[in-house]
A and B are shown apart, each in its own frame.
Chain A
Amino acid sequence: MSIQIDFRNLTVKYGHKFALQDVSLEIPEKRIFAIIGPANSGKTTLLKCINRTIDFVSHAKVQGRVLIDGEDVFRIRNVYELRRKVGMVFPLPVGLPLSVYENVAYAPRRAGIHDRHELDAIVEKCLRQAMLWDEVKDRLQLLGTRLSGGQQQRLTLARALSLRPEILCLDEFSIAIDPVTTMRIEDILRELKNEMTIVLVTNLVQQAHRLADYTAFFSASRLIEANRTETIFNQAAHRLTARYVAGDFG
């Protein structure tokens, strides 16, 4: 089993405030890797380093390395290619001013697919994977922002999948979705891990337990521990971790 993402002594500061301190973590290929931890522990910041959207925070300072397939993302020349390799689902839906269809067709078109039938097929497949197809198939030209919050969130998932990413990052994706849909998407994620590496930031400890092969626990900008999910939940090395997964704080 090879390593897909390798964080080496990663430190991120916003101004003088640490968001991540000396984090070293290996994320294996084609598994579901959960990141758990209380609010403000640096989980989102970690994801932002994977596709380098941290670049947009002008006051952020990054030290250390993030290797994807052995290549340092902060040295990479074609950052657009990197971002196409990494699908990103944000905690709250971000409705781009595009139609439902265009939201999903955008990335494939950029990748050079212009054949109408081929695009239609990709759009349908991604929307099905995101459990949204049945609800929007009759109104694909509707502006994405007109959908309900939960639908928009699934649209972002479809959009992320449209890149056919090697890595799929989800940041607390279930905040805006009802439990039934969440469960169905979790099923989809289990299937998707055959095709891609999934990094799942979640505030629901049980979601990590249900889904993830590996789990890492972050607290106050530090990685406390990372291990097989079973180990984290049953024989955590640190008391803090044990208390957190037991729901004692957070």
Chain B
Amino acid sequence: MSNGSGNAVRKPRARYIANAMRAFGDRAEPLVEWTIRLCGWSAILFVFSIFFFIFREAAPIFGELNWLEFFTSTQWQPSSEVHPRYGILALLVGTVSVTTLAMLVAVPLGLGAAVFISEFCTGKLKESLKILIELLAAIPSIVWGFIGYMVLGPIIIKLTGAPVGVNLLNGGLILGLMSVPIIVSVGEDALKAVPDSFREAAVSLGASRWEVVYRVLFPAAKNGLLAAVLLGVGRAIGETMAVLMCTGHAVQIPHSLLDPVRTLTATIASELGESAAGDPHYRVLFVIGLVLFAITFAVNVIADLIVKGVRNEQSR
């Protein structure tokens, strides 16, 4: 609109339109501002209402639940007629171990691919790889579960001689591969955001391409890269269908990579349907939901603190 007045000398009509648009723009300003504000608040509102909903379903059991047993027992027998037990320790360990394994796979692979695409590829290759990664991200989790169950499982049996192919290793690998695309695309964005002048300056100092990556790009893009990793962690913790199919679904603390495990999410998914609304089992599943909520929240807070800590250290 800035050149509207330039044309106006020649075209009165153009000036009229430009003025009208400007007048509208002035009036629309507060409207736009409020719309944006509303969007921001509604995001917060949604998070709170989700939390509230889960909390409401879980709360009635708070008084009756044996919290010590809940967190420290590995006995998960929710449908026992005589003496139901709600110990989630094994499930918790299941989630943590599968997620950790997944991250051990996904972080190096994802960040490596992000660096490769962003720094070592150009033109057609770069575009094709980015499309490929997006396609990978679009594969439904049930398909990943299927791959783990039908393809990876038999391979694991053949290679290791394990009795079953669905176990911690299988779930961790599948989950890791599932988390790679998001780490790659967010990580690539973070690297792309580092101005070229940084690369030029580092290279002008005689730095090799790898040194540019780890001395300059990683520190400069660390917030974005951390966000990428966290989104990966979030994806892994929250994933349900694939882990349900690939981990073996056995309630136990794993002693090796080849032991079947069960995760918090898979437990909710598989048992919510068979529990009657309002009975203790149903409510405990919602308590597990709260635990999941707390874990993701903690992960984010910790990451925030890490980022701040790094920042403070540098400003000393």
A contact residues vs B (CB 8 Å cutoff): 51, 53, 56, 58, 80-81, 83-84, 86-88, 90, 92, 94, 96-99, 106-107, 110-111, 141-143, 146, 156, 159-160, 163
Q: From B220, which residue of chain A is reached at the shortest CB distance?
A: A97
The verdict on A96 contacting B201 (CB below 8 Å), with A56-B196, A81-B206, A84-B206 known, is: yes
Q: Give 21 pairs: A residue, B residue, CB < 8 Å, sorted on A.
A: A53-B204, A56-B199, A56-B200, A56-B203, A80-B206, A83-B206, A84-B205, A86-B204, A88-B201, A90-B197, A90-B200, A92-B197, A94-B198, A96-B201, A96-B216, A98-B215, A99-B314, A106-B207, A106-B215, A107-B205, A163-B206
Residues of A within 8 A of B200 (CB): 53, 56, 90, 94
Residues of B within 8 A of A83 (CB): 203-206
The verdict on A163 contacting B316 (CB below 8 Å), with A56-B199, A90-B200 known, is: no
- How far does the alpha carbon of A131 sit from the alpha carbon of B201 in the complex, in Å? 20
Whether A156 lies near B220 (C-beta < 8 A) is no
Q: Does residue B268 face the partner (Cβ distance < 8 Å to A)?
A: no
B contact residues vs A (CB 8 Å cutoff): 122-123, 195-208, 211, 215-216, 219-220, 314-316
Report the minimum CB–CB distance from A108 to chain B (whole Å). 10
Report the minimum CB–CB distance from B191 to chain A (whole Å). 13
- How far does the alpha carbon of A96 sit from the alpha carbon of B219 in the complex, in Å? 9
- How far does the alpha carbon of A98 sit from the alpha carbon of B207 in the complex, in Å? 14
Whether B197 lies near A58 (C-beta < 8 A) is no
* Extra inter-chain contacts (13) besides given A53-B204, A81-B206, A83-B206, CB under 8 Å: A56-B203, A83-B204, A88-B204, A90-B197, A94-B200, A94-B201, A96-B198, A96-B220, A97-B220, A106-B205, A107-B205, A111-B206, A142-B316
- How far does the alpha carbon of A94 sit from the alpha carbon of B216 in the complex, in Å? 11
**Chief secondary structure at chain B's binding surface:** helix
- How far does the alpha carbon of A217 sit from the alpha carbon of B219 in the complex, in Å? 40
Residues of B within 8 A of A58 (CB): 122-123
A-B pairs under 8 A by CB, number = 68
Report the minimum CB–CB distance from B312 to chain A (whole Å). 11
Residues of B within 8 A of A56 (CB): 196, 199-200, 203
- How far does the alpha carbon of A141 sit from the alpha carbon of B195 in the complex, in Å? 23
Residues of B within 8 A of A141 (CB): 316
Whether B206 lies near A146 (C-beta < 8 A) is no
Whether A80 lies near B204 (C-beta < 8 A) is no
- How far does the alpha carbon of A111 sit from the alpha carbon of B122 in the complex, in Å? 30
- How far does the alpha carbon of A97 sit from the alpha carbon of B200 in the complex, in Å? 14
- How far does the alpha carbon of A107 sit from the alpha carbon of B211 in the complex, in Å? 12
Residues of B within 8 A of A142 (CB): 315-316
The verdict on A156 contacting B208 (CB below 8 Å), with A97-B216, A97-B220, A142-B316 known, is: no
The verdict on A107 contacting B215 (CB below 8 Å), with A94-B201, A96-B201 known, is: no
Whether A146 lies near B315 (C-beta < 8 A) is yes
Q: From B207, which residue of chain A is reached at the shortest CB distance?
A: A110
Whether A107 lies near B206 (C-beta < 8 A) is yes
10 smallest CB-CB distances across A and B, nearest first, come from: A84-B206, A97-B219, A94-B201, A88-B204, A143-B314, A94-B197, A97-B220, A83-B206, A107-B205, A58-B122
Residues of B within 8 A of A107 (CB): 205-206
Report the minimum CB–CB distance from B216 to chain A (whole Å). 6
Q: From A91, which residue of chain B is reached at the shortest CB distance?
A: B197
- How far does the alpha carbon of A88 sit from the alpha carbon of B195 in the complex, in Å? 17
- How far does the alpha carbon of A96 sit from the alpha carbon of B211 in the complex, in Å? 13
Residues of A within 8 A of B196 (CB): 56
Q: From A89, which residue of chain B is reached at the shortest CB distance?
A: B204
Report the minimum CB–CB distance from A233 to chain B (whole Å). 31
Residues of B within 8 A of A110 (CB): 205-207, 211
Whether A53 lies near B316 (C-beta < 8 A) is no
Report the minimum CB–CB distance from A12 to chain B (whole Å). 16
Report the minimum CB–CB distance from B137 to chain A (whole Å). 26
Whether A156 lies near B201 (C-beta < 8 A) is yes
Q: From A144, which residue of chain B is reached at the shortest CB distance?
A: B314
Interface centre among A51, A83, A94, A111 (most CB of B within 10 A): A94
Report the minimum CB–CB distance from A101 to chain B (whole Å). 13
Residues of B within 8 A of A97 (CB): 216, 219-220, 314
- How far does the alpha carbon of A199 sit from the alpha carbon of B208 in the complex, in Å? 24
Whether A90 lies near B201 (C-beta < 8 A) is yes
Whether A53 lies near B203 (C-beta < 8 A) is yes
- How far does the alpha carbon of A110 sit from the alpha carbon of B206 in the complex, in Å? 8
- How far does the alpha carbon of A56 sit from the alpha carbon of B207 in the complex, in Å? 14
- How far does the alpha carbon of A87 sit from the alpha carbon of B204 in the complex, in Å? 7
Residues of B within 8 A of A160 (CB): 204
Interface centre among B206, B211, B315, B316 (most CB of A within 10 A): B206
Interface centre among A56, A58, A96, A142 (most CB of B within 10 A): A96
Residues of A within 8 A of B205 (CB): 83-84, 106-107, 110, 159, 163
Residues of B within 8 A of A80 (CB): 206-208
